[in-house]
Amino acid sequence: MRVISGIYKRRRFDVPRSFKARPTTDFAKENLFNVLSNHLDFEEGGVEALDLFAGTGSISVELLSRGCTQVVSVEKDREHYAFICKVMQELKAVNWLPVRADVFKFVKSTHRCFDLVFADPPYELKDLETLPDLVLGNGLLKPGGLFVLEHGKKNHFEAHPCFIEHRSYGSVNFSFFGVSADSEQGGE
């Protein structure tokens, strides 16, 4: 796992071969952050991010490296969570909060709001198509915030009312969702 840009640029972390996680490719990650930099000002600071299905923590590290003031990483797998904690300790990243939890339960129970929510679930996840409504419906985004869902080519979200755009980089697809600063969001 390699950090592409920012204060941890060129740092590498060896991911155990036994991991089931499918890390976002460097090519897709670089293009993702080019798009994100048009929506969020990482350099000014103040960006708080939530990384769902964090896996190896690759996206979390990249977010921290680029200047996020806090990143919360949610990962259910015990070994992956331990790896994220190990990387956090190596980086001495005090603004990184790993949480070992089921994403669906976490999203329904948290009361925090974020500027950016990123989700990279397994592409074959049974309830993958429910994630935009779950994240947006539970008020996880601050006004003007952005939700990015990584998914396979079989999923299409263009008809979703909060859909902004879709980007494809090989087999990696990103759908972007937002809630305008003047609209009201929230759960039931």
DSSP 3-state assignment of 32? Answer: helix
What is the CATH number for 109? Answer: 3.40.50.150
Query: Looking at the domain assignment, is residue 143 inside a domain?
Result: yes
Query: Looking at the domain assignment, is residue 32 inside a domain?
Result: yes
Query: Looking at the domain assignment, is residue 148 inside a domain?
Result: yes
pLDDT of residue 60: 96
Residue 159 has pLDDT above 70, yes or no: yes
Question: Per-residue pLDDT tens for 43-75?
Answer: 777 899 999 999 999 999 999 999 999 999 999
What type of residue is 70?
Q
8 Å CB contact between 47 and 115: yes
pLDDT of residue 22: 65
Query: Looking at the domain assignment, is residue 141 inside a domain?
Result: yes
Question: Per-residue pLDDT tens for 93-150?
Answer: 999 999 999 999 999 999 999 999 999 998 888 889 999 999 999 999 999 899 999 9
Query: Looking at the domain assignment, is residue 3 inside a domain?
Result: no
Q: In what order do the strands lie in the sheet with 114-119?
A: 96-100, 70-75, 48-52, 114-119, 141-151, 172-178, 163-169
Total domains, the chain: 1
Query: Looking at the domain assignment, is residue 11 inside a domain?
Result: no
Query: Looking at the domain assignment, is residue 30 inside a domain?
Result: yes
pLDDT of residue 97: 96
What DSSP letter does each residue of 110-151 carry, written as one string? ----EEEEEE---TT-TTGGGHHHHHHHTT-EEEEEEEEEEE
Query: Looking at the domain assignment, is residue 110 inside a domain?
Result: yes
Residue 24 has pLDDT above 50, yes or no: yes
Query: Across all residues in the chain, what is the average pLDDT?
Result: 89
Pick the residue with more confidence: 73 or 170?
73
CA dihedral 100, 143, 41, 92 (to 10 degrees): -20
What is the domain range of residue 169?
Answer: 26-36+44-178
Pairwise CA distance, residues 11 & 179, whole Å:
34
